[in-house]
Structure 1
Amino acid sequence: MPYRRTTAVDDRLAAARERLIVAATDLVADAGWAGASVTAVAAAADMSVGSVYQHFPSKSALVVEVFRRAADREATLISALAAVSTAAVPTAAVPDATAPGAAEAPAAGGDPVDRLVQAVALFTRRALARRGLAYALLVAPSDPAVEAERLDFRRRYRDVFAALVREGVEAGSLPAQDPMVAAAALTGAIGEVLVGPVSMTEELPRGGREAERVVREVVAMALRCVGACPVERGWPSFSAGPVPVAGQVAVAGQVPAPAGRPPGGTG
């Protein structure tokens, strides 16, 4: 009678594989792709090197899975926020949006430019919160097999931005333009600011008010890139306050008040 693995064995193998992926992801975030050697991943997961090869035939297969898993999570969050107008989306667009179990929050209103604002703000906040992982996903030297995945990852961001720009043009919210060109420019510019070779990486904060200042600047840059006036969209100055979290849409000419304070209030 042929041997058949039990459900308990399958569960243990799946848990071990997941532990390896989590360990490898943390190593990549801390030390880049070069830091995620099979030996280092095995040690971080408290497993043997042989166990790693039991689940992944090569380091290349492991890092591709790490990239694919992390990239899919980021692209799915952005796509969900950009594609819906009122439904809840996973992970609130707040500085600690990478925290496990982060609360759900409603997406921005139906206006495509408002949704573009929220998508750019979420992209920026998450990149600031986990700088090492963002660098690994967007620009860090890596295995050739990862480069093909990275190209697809950047295309997914570009396609989300392009769809929103196209909607904005059709709705009359944005001037006539080629959505794909604008989206490619946005994807490249945001990545350059946050993790590119001439970015301000060492100077950029990870959270708090200083991170919100960067978020506001990146959002304003994105709006100018697609032909929307930041002041008219409610983002007159980085010092005026944080970009609203998902579900709190800016009113033209009115700066969103900090949490707990009414617009125009003095505290």
Structure 2
Amino acid sequence: MHDLLTSPRVRLRRRGADKHPLILKAARTLIAQSGFREAQMTAIAEAAGIAIGTLYRYFPSRTELLVEVVKFTAQREVDVVAGIAMRDGTACERLGMAAWTFASRALRGRRLAHALVAEPVEPEVEAARLTYHRALSRVFRTIIDQGIANGEFPEQDSAASADCIVGCLFEGLVAPLSSEAALAGVPMQSQVTSIISFCLRGVAGTAVAFIPPA
């Protein structure tokens, strides 16, 4: 009986529910509202409804927590884009829709997306963002490789082409994702469509007009 009561499993249960998902959700919500700068540990603990000491038991530093938020959020976005890449259709269609899905989701959650794309951050958080870039690039590279294999795209360095698409999307979205653009009510669909058409033209080697879904 003594061994049972003092086992790690029993002690873990006595600590109560795992607060990790709650903390990540609270931090992500604050970043989506005001960016990384306002996501301080005290504010995150308050938003999560936990004591600051509890927060530090899960995440010894703010940087460690922000890295975790970036990884979690980025993986979800990459999974969505990867799902588009696996659909039926030509490589050109899937490449265009994958890029459109990424851009349109970013514009719907523009403050969080701006933090993930352009906000100045600590080197550790920047490293997590670069991992996000590479994961997204791998999705685009897969589609490009398929297009090359079936003769739809000309021979090319698919890794370089995929990196260029990611670069175009991230750089092209910096201004649309800014708070100034949001306040001005600037229409973004035509700009995003132009960026994607440019990317498709570069990969396909011929003029391609991307038509966004209705």
The reply on whether 1:161 has 2:140 as its aligned counterpart is yes
- Mean alpha-carbon deviation: is it higher for 39-48 or for 218-227? 218-227
Q: Would you tell me which structure has more helix in proportion to its own residues?
A: 2
Unaligned runs of 5+ residues in structure 1 are 86-108, 236-242, 245-257, 259-267
Q: Which amino acid aligns with 1:154?
A: H
Q: Which amino acid aligns with 1:28?
A: I
The count of aligned residue pairs is 206
Matched residue, 1:179? 158
- Residue 211 of structure 1 and its aligned partner are, at CA, apart by 4.5
What SS is found at the alignment partner of 1:65? helix
Matched residue, 2:193? 216
What SS is found at the alignment partner of 1:203? helix
Go from structure 1 to structure 2 and tell me whether the alpha carbon gap of 1:187 and 1:229 turns closer, same or farther (over 3 Å shift): same
CA distance in 1, matches of 2:71, 2:133: 12
- Mean alpha-carbon deviation: is it higher for 118-127 or for 157-166? 157-166
Q: Which amino acid aligns with 2:163?
A: A
- 1:24-70 deviation line (CA, Å, top 9, x unaligned): 01111222222111111012222221121122122122111111110
- TM-score, scaled to structure 1: 0.69
CA distance in 2, matches of 1:123, 1:134: 10
- 1:192-247 deviation line (CA, Å, top 9, x unaligned): 1112xxx3433369x9xx4443442232122122124224xx63xxxxxxx12xxx
Residues 117 and 219, structure 1, Cα contact 8 Å, conserved in 2: yes
The reply on whether 1:229 has 2:207 as its aligned counterpart is yes
1:124 alignment partner, one of 77, 97, 103: 103
Residues 120 and 222, structure 1, Cα contact 8 Å, conserved in 2: no
Matched residue, 1:33? 36
The reply on whether 1:193 has 2:197 as its aligned counterpart is no
CA distance in 2, matches of 1:143, 1:130: 22
Residues 125 and 211, structure 1, Cα contact 8 Å, conserved in 2: no
Q: Which amino acid aligns with 2:10?
A: R
CA distance in 2, matches of 1:9, 1:126: 40
2:51 alignment partner, one of 25, 48, 53: 48
Go from structure 1 to structure 2 and tell me whether the alpha carbon gap of 1:204 and 1:224 turns closer, same or farther (over 3 Å shift): farther
Unaligned runs of 5+ residues in structure 2 are none
- Residue 9 of structure 1 and its aligned partner are, at CA, apart by 4.7
CA distance in 2, matches of 1:146, 1:42: 20
CA distance in 2, matches of 1:131, 1:63: 18
CA distance in 2, matches of 1:17, 1:143: 22
Residues 201 and 208, structure 2, Cα contact 8 Å, conserved in 1: yes
**1:1-267 correspondence to structure 2 within 5 Å:** 1=2, 2-3=6-7, 4-5=9-10, 9=14, 12-14=16-18, 16-82=19-85, 84-85=86-87, 109-195=88-174, 199-200=175-176, 201=178, 202-203=180-181, 210-226=187-203, 227-231=205-209, 235=211, 243-244=212-213, 258=214
- Residue 154 of structure 1 and its aligned partner are, at CA, apart by 0.4
Identity across the alignment (%): 32
